[in-house]
């Protein structure tokens, strides 16, 4: 069946420039993280995506969606639901968080669902793009796990902890470690903190950065690791076994996971239908079960609100650069 590239603007809560639900969004440390992620490759070859041709059509028989958890059963359910709407959903899996946005930008994908708003804001600013959220999914608590210790207090002075090395998840992981009392961060920690902001003489552990998809594997070499939820089950880790998580820390807006499309496609009815189908109980119940009940549903946040939050985050990034 012929796949046609969909041609479908960026611009409820505006994040305050000082603090919002327990985190500070912008300080002078923002400049460090913005500089760091400028090195992200913006055009990667995606072997699993076929090249598509442009079309101004408002409909499509096939929709290519990029995800980081393609093996999950709920994607099969979504494909079945989409088929009933005469939509063929092609789920394209990625193991590297840096790939789905460039693939969406270059037309290899029509939509993706793998990231939170802060990750998307950083990508847009550094790539000079305008990818746009059209639907919310969940906030996934970020937790600290260990195969060697059963309580935070057991982690020794000078112990080692691994965290994801991609910019936004790294900052969130640092806030998790600070919340757990394992490190202290300059200026109280921000959504743009880096390991350089760790106050060594006030911290209990040493922090090592690794690729997000290697955090679970690193457990054999470190005292603990901050691991994104979509890597837990495949690694045989019980999500409820976290020594600490940010589930109760009101992280909110920057970490809402979203469906993203090219800005020109934000009103495309076929893509909006995919979001609508995802938000049905057949899907959301599976997602919650897959997270062992830890995922916090945010599907009541409108596309307009998501776009407003994203615009605010991008403005703050620009102001700090």
Statement to judge: residues 31 and 120 lie in one domain: yes
Residue-wise pLDDT for 48-57, tens only, equals 333 333 343 4
Q: For residue 249, what pLDDT is reported?
A: 67
Return the SS3 of 73.
helix
Statement to judge: residues 184 and 294 lie in one domain: no
Statement to judge: residues 34 and 132 lie in one domain: yes
Average pLDDT score over the chain: 83
Pairwise pLDDT comparison (316 vs 21), residue with the higher score: 316
Distance CA 236, CA 14 (A): 38
Q: Contact at 8 Å (CB) between 108 and 49?
A: yes
Q: For residue 48, what pLDDT is reported?
A: 35
Residue at 109 is within a domain:
yes
Distance CA 207, CA 229 (A): 20
Distance CA 147, CA 141 (A): 19
Statement to judge: residues 131 and 25 lie in one domain: yes
Residue-wise pLDDT for 102-136, tens only, equals 999 999 999 999 999 999 999 999 999 999 999 99
Statement to judge: residues 136 and 43 lie in one domain: yes
Where is the domain boundary, 195, 228, 245? 245
Confidence of residue 251 (pLDDT cuts 50, 70, 90): low
Where is the domain boundary, 224, 245, 266? 245
Distance CA 142, CA 176 (A): 7
Statement to judge: residues 147 and 231 lie in one domain: yes
Look up residue 184 and give its two tokens.
């202290």
Alpha-carbon torsion, ordered 116, 118, 119, 120, to 10 deg = 80
Beta-carbon count within 10 A of 263 CB: 16
Confidence of residue 320 (pLDDT cuts 50, 70, 90): confident
Q: For residue 58, what pLDDT is reported?
A: 52
Statement to judge: residues 123 and 260 lie in one domain: yes
Confidence of residue 250 (pLDDT cuts 50, 70, 90): low
Confidence of residue 86 (pLDDT cuts 50, 70, 90): very high
| R_g over Cα of the chain | 19
Q: Chain centroid to CA 287: how far? A: 15
Statement to judge: residues 123 and 179 lie in one domain: no
Confidence of residue 284 (pLDDT cuts 50, 70, 90): very high
Statement to judge: residues 136 and 148 lie in one domain: no
- Give me the percent of the chain exceeding a pLDDT of 90: 66
Query: In which domain, by residue range, is 97 found?
Result: 19-140+251-320
Residue 83 backbone dihedrals phi, psi, to 5 degrees: -60, -35
Residue-wise pLDDT for 196-230, tens only, equals 999 999 999 999 999 999 999 999 999 999 999 88
Sign, Cα dihedral of 169, 173, 175, 179: positive
Q: Is the pLDDT of residue 154 over 60?
A: yes
Where is the domain boundary, 230, 245, 260? 245
How many independent structural domains does the chain possess?
2
Confidence of residue 318 (pLDDT cuts 50, 70, 90): confident
Residue at 1 is within a domain:
no
Q: For residue 229, what pLDDT is reported?
A: 85
Alpha-carbon torsion, ordered 302, 114, 229, 211, to 10 deg = -140
Q: Average pLDDT for residues 83-100, to the nearest whole number? A: 96
* Alpha-carbon distance values, 112 to 66, 204, 224, 259, 273 (Å): 4, 38, 31, 6, 14
Q: What is the CATH number of the domain that holds 280?
A: 3.40.190.10
Q: For residue 51, what pLDDT is reported?
A: 34
Q: Is the pLDDT of residue 315 over 50?
A: yes
Statement to judge: residues 168 and 229 lie in one domain: yes
Residue-wise pLDDT for 22-40, tens only, equals 334 444 445 545 544 443 3
Residue at 280 is within a domain:
yes
Residue at 237 is within a domain:
yes
Look up residue 116 and give its two tokens.
């939170």
**Range among 205-209, 239-243, 294-298 rated most confident:** 205-209
Q: Is the pLDDT of residue 170 over 50?
A: yes
Distance CA 299, CA 133 (A): 12
Statement to judge: residues 67 and 27 lie in one domain: yes
Residue at 56 is within a domain:
yes
Q: Which residues of 97-106 are buried (b: 16+ CB within 10 A; e: fewer)?
A: bbbbbbbbbb
Q: Of 179, 185, 177, 222, which Cα lies nearest the Cα of 202?
A: 185
Q: Is the pLDDT of residue 185 over 90?
A: yes
Confidence of residue 41 (pLDDT cuts 50, 70, 90): very low
Q: Give ∠ CA 288-290-295 in degrees, rounded to 5.
A: 40
Distance CA 149, CA 160 (A): 12
Statement to judge: residues 23 and 136 lie in one domain: yes
Confidence of residue 319 (pLDDT cuts 50, 70, 90): confident
Q: Is the pLDDT of residue 20 over 90?
A: no
The secondary structure element, H or E, covering residue 122 is helix 117-127
pTM: 0.65
């Amino acid at each position: 069946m012929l796949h046609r590239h969909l041609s479908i603007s960026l611009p409820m809560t505006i994040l305050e420039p000082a603090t919002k639900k327990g985190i500070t969004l912008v300080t002078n440390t923002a400049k460090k993280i913005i500089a760091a992620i400028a090195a992200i490759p913006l055009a990667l070859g995606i072997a699993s995506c076929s090249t598509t041709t442009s079309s101004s059509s408002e409909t499509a028989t096939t929709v290519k969606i990029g995800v980081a958890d393609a093996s999950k059963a709920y994607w099969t359910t979504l494909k079945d639901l989409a088929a009933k709407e005469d939509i063929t959903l092609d789920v394209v899996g990625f193991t590297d968080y840096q790939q789905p946005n460039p693939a969406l930008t270059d037309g290899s994908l029509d939509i993706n669902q793998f990231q939170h708003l802060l990750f998307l804001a950083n990508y847009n600013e550094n790539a000079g793009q305008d990818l746009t959220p059209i639907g919310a999914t969940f906030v996934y608590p970020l937790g600290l796990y260990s195969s060697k210790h059963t309580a935070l207090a057991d982690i020794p002075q000078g112990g080692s902890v691994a965290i994801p090395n991609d910019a936004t998840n790294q900052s969130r992981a640092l806030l998790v470690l600070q919340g757990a009392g394992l490190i202290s961060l300059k200026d109280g920690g921000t959504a743009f903190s880096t390991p350089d902001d760790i106050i060594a003489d006030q911290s209990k552990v040493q922090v090592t950065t690794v690729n997000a998809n290697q955090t679970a594997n690193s457990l054999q070499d470190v005292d603990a690791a901050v691991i994104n939820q979509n890597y837990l089950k495949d690694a045989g880790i019980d999500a409820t076994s976290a020594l600490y998580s940010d589930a109760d820390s009101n992280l909110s807006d920057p970490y809402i996971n979203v469906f993203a499309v090219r800005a020109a496609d934000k009103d495309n009815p076929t893509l909006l239908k995919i979001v609508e189908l995802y938000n049905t109980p057949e899907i959301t119940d599976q997602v919650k079960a897959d997270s062992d009940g830890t995922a916090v549903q945010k599907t009541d946040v409108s596309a307009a609100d998501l776009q407003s939050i994203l615009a605010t985050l991008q403005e703050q990034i620009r102001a700090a650069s």
